[in-house]
Chain A
Amino acid sequence: MTSIGKKQKSLKSDTFEGVDFYQLDELFTEEQKLIRESIRSFVKKEISPYIESWAQESYFPSSIVKIMGDQGIFGPQIPKNYGGGGLDYTAYGLMMQELERGDSGMRSTASVQGSLVMYPIYAFGSEEQKSSLLPRLASGEILGCFGLTEPNHGSNPSGMTTNFKDMGDHYLLNGAKMWISNAPQADLAVVWAKNEEGRIHGLLVERGMEGFSTPETHNKWSLRASCTGELVFDEVKVPKKNLLPGKSGLGAPLMCLDSARFGISWGAVGAAMDCYETAKNYALERIQFGKSIASFQLTQKKLSEMLTEITKSQLLNWRLGKLMEEGKATTAQISMAKRNNVAMALQVAREARQILGGMGITGEYSIMRHMMNLESVVTYEGTHDIHLLILGQEITGISAFS
């Protein structure tokens, strides 16, 4: 009886090995590679065996929050003294790549907690806010969400109408946010709202505050293992100490988005790798007309193009990671990577699904789940077209937004 065989059996459904056609591994440090391997093992153990049923049943496994916290997935780039990982951006990117290789919804949960909740508290919060909240968010004891988008203001967040009034000893918050990841389960919301002068500020709204509710958005065909909802504020009294004092204006939430979009650029590559590897393995085994479908030129064309596009995106990510670490990455550079890589992943998913024929539409394989997930990823954190406009403005100096 060999014991290794037994252990492999439970991993049988997930034999992912990663894609590295241009020997990028030589550009990563041993520590970065260890981090990637650890998250890959984590995904194989905690996510892959269950994700298909979670997605099929549209179920957000709230217990995964603590498990992710223990693994150190939340806020890896936040300094250690606040409970974060103190890791570099490349390591953060590799973590997001591996998580999204498992599922975009799981990666979304981590992106929101790390880049959209912990990051603004770390960057714009008071010392008290940081020391009381960051360690609890890092460990997964509490879950956070990020409220920017509104029913009537998606691509145009500066038009938001959610607002607060200074009532002397507290603020009075009114308005609503929509499409908010984690909202139905969140203990804490970082909410962007305008003050009486129309200036955008961040407020920390806690579950249980009177007038604050988080109705869930049902019937999504995408990110089904991540929960999405609204944030409704009906005369919510928010203590004054809950205002993020460090920065105001639209630039504050946009800074958070830079960090999250960077993670998405890597995550999308993970999803694409999973689709590519699944399609490659399937093509080698599936026999039609007496040979494996991998022997047909049209299948080889699809696989070759997928590998080429994945490799280009990996190079973009690697360089962007370096620029982030040197503090030189611009919003437009991040836009280029987010837009390119998510579109690439969608294209790879569609081609991969075709290689699997009818099998590609079932939950037996991950491809269709990735494809549906990526329809959200291509829309949130700046739509595909909005990123074009950001680049267009960078090139021409002219804003084409309005």
Chain B
Amino acid sequence: MKILVCITHVPDTTSRIQFTDNNTKFDKTGVQFVIGPYDDYALARAVELRDQTGGKLTVLNVGEAETDPTLRKALAIGADEAIRINAYPKDSYFVAQQIARVAQEGAYDLILMGRESSDYNGGMVHGMVGEMMGLPSISPVMRLDIEGNTAKLSREIEGGKEELEVSLPLVAGCQEPIAEWKIPNMRGIMSARSKPLTVKEADAYDVHASIVSYALPPAKGAVKLFDKDQMEELVKLLKNEANVL
């Protein structure tokens, strides 16, 4: 079986987020980049499926040279080879287009990624890739087993869970508890040294979306405590100040 896992290169979830250039650029100073947490689940499950079924596991990232260490980490976790599409990931459509092209060329049975990246949280790429390739795309997938040519999966839906059987190939956006995150061990890190990391140039593309400006969410306010006989006051504030009623 051939598996493609698409990973993002995102700021660690504990990073301090700041902007520069009049709030039009994300400030990378001192920021540690990691494999997107949801992509990391997809990768972990892919390593298990590859070990069970044999075959080959490829990781892919659309990004510039700075993402190589993130791909190297994916190789240390267990991927067999890596591909980097050498381009800044301008928007979801662009990324999906690049992935779809590589996925088409490689004829993969399974194309996995996170349900969304943890930087822009668009959650669109898996759907777009499925559409572009004419394949089923399913998200958020919380369980994935392979039997012959069929994938058995369960995914979260509004108010419940859906169990599905889908024939391969397919695209899936994953989340836990599909697998537990894997920590690379020293053997993995050593063997990642000699695994292939291929850089491919991106397809030409018209920009559909561009960033106008960034803003931080409002700072969390202080906690207000109410006595049990102040219910009316509480309701009033929830309505007028917090705007949640």
Contact = CB atoms under 8 A, between A and B. Distances in A.
Question: Do chains A and B interact in one complex?
Answer: yes
Interface of A: 1, 3-4, 6-8, 15, 17, 30-31, 33-35, 38, 41-42, 45, 70-73, 76, 80, 85-87
A350 B187 CA distance: 38
Contact of B183 (A15, A38, A86): A38
Nearest to B191: A80
For chain B, the bracket of interface size reads: 20 to 34
A71 B38 CA distance: 23
Given A4-B13, A4-B118, A30 B69 contact: yes
A35 B186 contact: yes
A72 B72 contact: no
B109 interface: no
A221 to B, nearest CB: 32
B151 interface: no
A34 B69 contact: yes
B208 to A, nearest CB: 27
A45 B76 CA distance: 18
Nearest to A6: B176
A3 B41 CA distance: 11
A20 to B, nearest CB: 9
Given A4-B13, A7-B176, A30 B72 contact: yes
B186 A34 contact: no
A3 B14 contact: no
Nearest to A46: B183
12 contacts: A1-B156, A4-B118, A7-B37, A7-B181, A17-B14, A30-B69, A34-B72, A38-B189, A71-B183, A72-B185, A72-B187, A80-B190
Contacts of B185: 38, 70-72
Contacts of B176: 3, 6-7
A15 B12 CA distance: 12
B183 A45 contact: yes
Contacts of B38: 3-4
A183 B243 CA distance: 64
Interface in B137-181: 156, 175-176, 181
Nearest to A69: B185
Contacts of A42: 183
A85 B37 contact: no
B2 interface: no
Given A4-B37, A30-B69, A85 B187 contact: yes
A45 B181 CA distance: 10
Contacts of A4: 13, 37-38, 118
Contact of B190 (A33, A45, A86): A86
B127 interface: no
A38 B73 CA distance: 10
Contacts of B73: 34
Interface string B175-210: 110000101111101100100000000000000000
B190 A87 contact: yes
A3 B68 CA distance: 26
Residue in A1, A8, A42, A71 whose Cβ sees the most chain B Cβ within 10 Å: A71
A33 B183 CA distance: 14
A372 B189 CA distance: 34
A76 B69 CA distance: 21
Interface in B1-36: 13-14
Contacts of B69: 30, 33-34
B221 to A, nearest CB: 17
Contacts of A87: 186, 190
A15 B185 CA distance: 21
B72 A71 contact: no
A33 B37 CA distance: 19
Contacts of A33: 69
A397 B183 CA distance: 48
Nearest to B12: A17
Contact of B186 (A6, A7, A45, A71): A71
A125 B176 CA distance: 47
Nearest to A74: B186
